[in-house]
Chain A
């Protein structure tokens, strides 16, 4: 429109002083220095880059020269440029400020300091943009966790901020909505641990516990798959009914001929109440009838035998130990590399279990 190439129409406007002539003289811009905002790299270097990097030879030379002659403006500016190159914008600003204190009239230092301060603030701007992205992700996850009971979003959000009380409560709510009140109670407890429970959280906890009790009652009082599912939904580690639920689960699994899983349930129950004879009898019966020969099962069997006062039958412990250890040991010998290492760990674990099974149960005398 008012390009020099369309001079004639522009002249009339110029006469009125409405537009300015582009050829009247461009305002020169300062040549960019490394890391300045005018440069494309401006602000892209995070402060971490400064912390992670080390001064180069040139930078150390500049520093040495400046130490000898603190009034050398040129060296000071070069050192500031080197610091900017490494992303050490704050250091560059401090260096230039110190220089300006020595020489308050230095135009070069003033210009470079302005540029350095600008770069420093721009760095904050880029960091802000990065934080914006993370904050948006967190808000999205919170929204989906809270409003849609999306447990994957809850977990993603908690992975970033594990001690966020609101998130823990939101996940608890999502678990209640998903029919998993026992797990919800764990998150409510964590939330209460961060900040003492208010009335709302107390109400949620009571409601979740009530929902859990419904599952527990169904687990203990009903039969079949529905009862089994209820046992899982009502099971809460550390709860007073944990033993009863494991034991009931064992019974229910035995009833549907799932011996291996039943044995697991009984073993879990036995770990909670080692002296329970009914559980011990079930473990012995199931290890006899099933093909479970793994160290955990065999160790549990020995413990159960001792509980039943049939410790003499657990004299076979050395055999058990040999069996428990030899299998992974053989694997370790045959395997190479990571497999061998894993097998060695298994050998150590088996040995520990065997030594545990050899201990005399409390109160039993020979």
Chain B
């Protein structure tokens, strides 16, 4: 009797396992932004990478602003710029653009909810302010590299530091503490809230996507997104 009950229980669980559906393609794309993707240095999601690098940019710019000589200033800012815009290392700019791209991929997936379809363009539009700050940090970083004096370098460094802080927590914090509730003032903190809110609205609910799905979503030559069940690889375009 006990054995029969146990067998039925196991069979029941197996049925649950068998009938559980894989995540939607849209959710896997979202997972690439916020959970993991195999192309980033530590296989972290693009948005997570952007958050980490944004902090490093701020740290290096702070060190530069405290530096006692021009050479150290230039060295620190060179590091900050690398974390800001390096493509191979997924600097802030590249990482946030990729995050936005994948949220857009999610919205264009066949199985995207109306919520994702409507939220993605808004998120993408709000990302551009962070990108703009990244572009400005790069330009000012170049100015620091070409500076002839500490005074000249300091003007750009102070600005880089402000921009780096704004990229983390919004322009309000960089300007003295008010909330950055306007999209044009958004930093990654506000963008993270926006993503979290979009995910919270998902129905059926979003669940953290398993790594296998995150790393095995491939795009076939005909443009269809599928999971690479047989490990054959494929043309994954934006994923490499």
Q: Which residues of A contact B (CB under 8 A)?
A: 1-5, 14-17, 19-32, 36-40, 42, 111, 114-115, 117-119, 121-122, 124-125, 128-129, 131-133, 135-137, 139-140, 143-144, 147-148
Contact = CB atoms under 8 A, between A and B. Distances in A.
B212 A3 contact: yes
A38 B106 CA distance: 9
Contacts of B25: 27, 29
Size bracket, chain B contacts: 35 or more
B226 interface: yes
B186 interface: no
Contacts of A21: 17-18, 20, 22
A29 B121 contact: no
A133 to B, nearest CB: 5
Which interface residue of A30, A111, A125 has the most chain B CB atoms within 10 A? A125
B21 A143 contact: no
A140 B136 contact: yes
A115 B110 CA distance: 9
A24 B229 contact: no
A148 B110 CA distance: 53
A17 B13 contact: yes
A118 B135 contact: no
Contacts of A27: 22, 24-25, 110-111
Contacts of A140: 136, 139-140, 143
Given A30-B110, A148-B152, A25 B21 contact: yes
Contacts, number: 165
Interface string B98-118: 001000110111111000010
B237 interface: yes
Contacts of B182: none
A19 B135 CA distance: 41
A156 B129 CA distance: 22
B136 A29 contact: no
Contacts of A128: 124-125, 128, 131
A20 B21 contact: yes
A169 B222 CA distance: 57
B17 to A, nearest CB: 4
Given A133-B135, A148-B155, A125 B128 contact: yes
B135 A29 contact: no
Contacts of B117: 114, 117-118
B224 interface: yes
A213 B197 CA distance: 63
The residue in B104, B112, B213, B222 that gathers the most chain A C-beta atoms within 10 A of its C-beta is B104
B153 to A, nearest CB: 10
A241 to B, nearest CB: 36
Contacts of A117: 117
9 contacts: A24-B18, A24-B22, A29-B25, A32-B224, A119-B108, A121-B124, A125-B125, A132-B128, A135-B135
Contacts of A115: 108
B17 A28 contact: no
Contacts of A16: 13
Contacts of A137: 135, 139
Contacts of A3: 212, 216, 231
Contact of A17 (B20, B111, B124, B238): B20
